[in-house]
């Protein structure tokens, strides 16, 4: 049986009716068509599904959508300001912080949280904070460089 759910996603209010077992990830991708958030492992191991919930980063595959009634979600689609990329998006482009790009939305959402929460003080601190975001292409050095650029 479906349950009612109110959410704000990227500044837009939604009133939905969802199955209790629907994950936040599936809700975003399948109900709201926000496919920028990626499904890598679907069990909390890769970080491809990272979004912000009330400003905190969350692996959306591990979270049921109904747990977020009344909360505010930001996805990669919500970072840019119109045509103007977010500074972290600019930095990933500038530093080639990706190869295939599949993990990039999750990397960028974590990277924004990393700087915002004050965990970008050193390379070691950045690598520790970002350790839940896996990049199979191994673009880690450039990802760290992008984060350091935004932080400074
Ligand atoms: Fe959520 Fe991998 S898809 S952590």
Domain residue ranges of the chain, discontinuous segments joined by +: 3-78, 87-151
Ligand 1 pocket: which of 35, 48, 131 to mutate (most atoms within 8 A of CB): 48
Please identify, by atom number, the ligand 1 atom nearest to the C-alpha of residue 41: 2
Identical fold, 3-78 and 87-151: no
Whole-model pTM? 0.97
| Fold for the domain defined by 87-151 | DNA polymerase; domain 1 (1.10.150)
What pLDDT is recorded for position 97?
Answer: 97
Q: What is the pLDDT of residue 92?
A: 98
> DSSP string of 79-117?
TSBTTBPPHHHHHHHHTT--SS-TTHHHHHHHHHHHHHT
**CB contact set of 53 (below 8 Å; sequence gap of 6+):** 24, 63, 68, 71, 72, 73
Distance 29 CA to ligand 1 centre (A): 13
- The reported pLDDT for the residue numbered 152 is 72
Cα 119 from Cα 140, distance rounded (Å): 16
CA angle 42, 80, 34 (to 5 degrees): 35
Position in ligand 1 atom list of the atom nearest CA 62: 1
Say whether the ipTM exceeds 0.90.
Answer: yes
Per-residue pLDDT of the chain (152 residues; tens, 9 = 90+): 999 999 999 999 999 999 999 999 999 999 999 999 999 999 999 999 999 999 999 999 999 999 999 999 999 999 999 999 999 999 999 999 999 999 999 999 999 999 999 999 999 999 999 999 999 999 999 999 999 999 87
The CATH-assigned architecture of domain 3-78 is Roll (3.10)
Cα of 137 from ligand 1 centre, angstroms = 17
């Amino acid at each position: 049986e479906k349950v009612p759910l109110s959410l704000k996603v990227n500044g837009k209010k939604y009133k939905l009716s969802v199955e209790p077992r629907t994950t936040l990830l599936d809700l975003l991708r399948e109900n709201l068509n926000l496919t920028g958030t990626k499904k890598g492992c679907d069990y909390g191991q890769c970080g491809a599904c990272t979004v912000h919930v009330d400003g905190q980063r969350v692996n959306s595959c591990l979270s049921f959508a109904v747990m977020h009634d009344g909360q505010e979600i930001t996805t990669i689609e919500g970072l840019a300001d119109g045509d103007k990329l977010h500074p972290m998006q600019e930095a990933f482009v500038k530093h080639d912080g990706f190869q295939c790009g599949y993990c990039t939305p999750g990397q960028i959402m974590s990277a924004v949280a990393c700087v915002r929460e004050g965990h970008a003080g050193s390379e070691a601190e950045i690598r520790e904070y970002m350790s839940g975001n896996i990049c199979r292409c191994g673009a880690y050095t450039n990802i760290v460089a992008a984060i350091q650029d935004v932080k400074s």
